Amino acid sequence: MEKIIETKDISYSYTDSDGQISIVPALSNVSLSVESGEYVAVLGHNGSGKSTLAKLLNLILTPTSGTLYIDGKEIDHNDDDIDKLYDVRKTVGMVFQNPDNQLVATVVEEDVAFGPENLGIEPKEIQKRIDEALETVGMTEYANHATHSLSGGQKQRIAIAGVIAMKPKCIIFDESTAMLDPLGRKEVMRAMERLNREEGITIIHITHYMEEAARADRVIIVNDGEVYMDATPREVFSHVEELRAVGLEAPQATELLHRLRALGYDVPRDCIDADECAEIIVKLIKSEKEKNV
């Protein structure tokens, strides 16, 4: 598998309004790699540095120190080659949190066209890309609707369509489900998973919802500007106490089994799925009842 993203010891410090560089870096010495086609969730409490990481990966920010490789291209802190930066932003697209902040046009179709138009793509090709992108997010019938009339989940899906129309290899979702209702969250998750499975697009999903993170192939936890854990969801969520220590929590299925284990019952510590959890408990109750007979 080829690496789409690789970071080597990257750090980032914000500069305040007086031009002073902050003493506490937002991110320090982060080294990680993401393979093409992976579906990665990133967790971390507010202020942990996860959004800074996301902004570095599509070069909204460039690292204060360290080196970044995006799709094989090397970028370091004093890179000011604009063409190269544009190229990288084409590779890694980003969908933000607030659906109302990232639509630029009044009509759905025109909004999706904004990205490819700026890349100087032929009008015919743009139309093709719009159609495909809207199809992928299930919004074809809304092509001529006014953007302001859509629900939050629909707006986010238009924002996603606008990113896919630029044909990125990787998309970062920076808490893109945070402001949505349960249905809107499901719509966005479905679109995300479809892009990953059917189009092979690498997904990096930053979220506060543990149940969402449990669906990824891999979970990275960022804490105090460093990578705290990096493993499969099963492995990560089995560390219930450590998660709590960094301001996070496990999915309710994992939490319930963790509590039973603490009481001395022999149940697995790495279950993250509701159905699986229910099966485990059914078995446990049946065997305990037999003991009592």
Q: Which residues lie near other proteins (CB under 8 A)?
A: 44-47, 97, 151-153, 175, 178-184, 208, 210-211, 247-249, 251-253, 255-256, 259-260, 263, 274-275, 277-279, 281-282, 284-286, 288-289, 292
Cβ closest to other proteins, residue 85 vs residue 274: 274
Closest CA to 44 of 238, 246, 237, 232: 246
Cβ closest to other proteins, residue 3 vs residue 45: 45
Smallest separation, CB 214 to other proteins (Å): 10
Smallest separation, CB 65 to other proteins (Å): 25
Sign of the torsion formed by the C-alpha atoms of 14, 16, 19 and 21: negative
Smallest separation, CB 130 to other proteins (Å): 25
The DSSP string of 132-181 is HHHHHTT-GGGTTSBGGGS-HHHHHHHHHHHHHTT--SEEEEESTTTTS-
Smallest separation, CB 171 to other proteins (Å): 20
- Rounded Cα–Cα distance for residues 63 and 72 (Å): 17
Smallest separation, CB 244 to other proteins (Å): 8
Cβ closest to other proteins, residue 48 vs residue 58: 48
Cβ closest to other proteins, residue 79 vs residue 211: 211
The DSSP string of 218-270 is EEEEEETTEEEEEE-HHHHHT-HHHHHHTT----HHHHHHHHHHHTT----S-
Cβ closest to other proteins, residue 104 vs residue 285: 285
